[in-house]
Amino acid sequence: MRSISLLLAGAGAASAYTITVADRFMYKNIDPIVFPGRYDKSHMHTFFGSDAVTANTSTSAELQAGCSTAENPNDYSVYWVPTLYLRNSSGAQPIPVNRFSAYYVSIENAEVAIPQDFKAVAGNVSASSQAGVNDLTGVQWFCEGDATEDGKDVSAFPTETCSTHLQTLLLFPDCVNEESLESAYSGTQNWSGDFKPANRCPSGMKRMPQLRFSIRYDLRSILPGGWSGEAPFELACGTSYCSHGDFINGWLPEAAENMLLANAKREFAGVDGPAGKSDAGSLCGVENAQDADPEHGTSDYEESKALLGAN
């Protein structure tokens, strides 16, 4: 079985970390980071976290006014990814998410908390092969608990039926300029000549906790017969290689600072805050989260594709 340590490989296998789990609350063809204010430019996304998000959202305060589906009541962040579909003779059906987990890893290396109003996109929406996938994003698709497929691109869908869940991973930048909110991945790729900062960040940036998506999809009811060969899946953006994710920080400021304290041991630590203990659950009730702007945009996949085709 893949242990948590293996899931965190590449981000510090034994690093200090915390997790927040959030339920899906909507499908919608908006992207407030890439296409703010537009309802005809974005492919379909699956949203988790604060339901206050709209096509115009840009601040943490906006998200903190909503109902969050996160089990940590201090997390009002919004997280979204391109919707995953099963494609067959009946058309396309969204594949149910079994569990969305937002890991915050390598906390022992963090110098600052994730800033309020911070937002980021990880992954390459235009990628159509492994060559187009940035290694720093850590994009992986695999069957949870199953043996690794020999010869398969790490970012390609599995070619055989999963014994449990289909799983994907995605890693976000961990360096931030606190003033401009620009971000980058840490690493020696940022070193040049005599410029070799200990935090491995570009000039003017500091390390923050690194966000990592881990998503498990439940195929058992939607594809009970499994598959062999090319997987009958498609992301709203295209193939598995275009996998990406978006994030707008909504952590209550006190909790964001408390996250930095989760580095006393190189293991999991819950993040408490003014809204309660880390595992207290949603304050508003997950079932009450809903689209904050139902009059605009669509949750219909074919309609969203038609809108994109018209542009």
Separation CA 11–CA 277 (nearest Å):
26
Q: Which of 209, 176, 212 has the alpha carbon at shortest distance from 79?
A: 212
Q: Which of 8, 19, 88, 61 has the alpha carbon at shortest distance from 271?
A: 19
pLDDT digits (tens, 9 = 90+) for 62-102: 999 999 999 999 999 999 999 999 998 889 999 999 999 99
Separation CA 165–CA 174 (nearest Å):
28
Contact 275, 255 (CB under 8 A): yes
pLDDT, block means (10 residues), the chain with 311 residues:
37 74 98 98 99 99 99 99 95 97 96 99 98 98 96 98 98 99 96 91 98 98 96 98 99 98 81 97 97 98 95 76
Separation CA 15–CA 106 (nearest Å):
5
SS3 category, 131: helix
Q: Does residue 141 sit within a domain?
A: yes
Q: Does residue 200 sit within a domain?
A: no
Q: Does residue 100 sit within a domain?
A: yes
Q: Does residue 185 sit within a domain?
A: no
Residues facing 163 on adjacent strands: none
Q: Does residue 180 sit within a domain?
A: no
Separation CA 51–CA 286 (nearest Å):
10
Q: Does residue 189 sit within a domain?
A: no
Measured at the CA of 191, the angle between CA 187 and CA 196, to 5 degrees, comes to: 100
pLDDT digits (tens, 9 = 90+) for 1-41: 333 333 434 444 557 899 999 999 999 999 999 999 999 99
Q: Does residue 70 sit within a domain?
A: yes
Q: Which of 39, 85, 54, 57 has the alpha carbon at shortest distance from 298?
A: 39
Domain count, the chain: 1
Q: Does residue 60 sit within a domain?
A: yes
pTM over cut 0.85: yes
Expressed as residue numbers, the domain containing 119 is 4-174+209-309
Cβ neighbors of 164 (< 8 A, separation 6 or more) are 143, 144, 145, 146
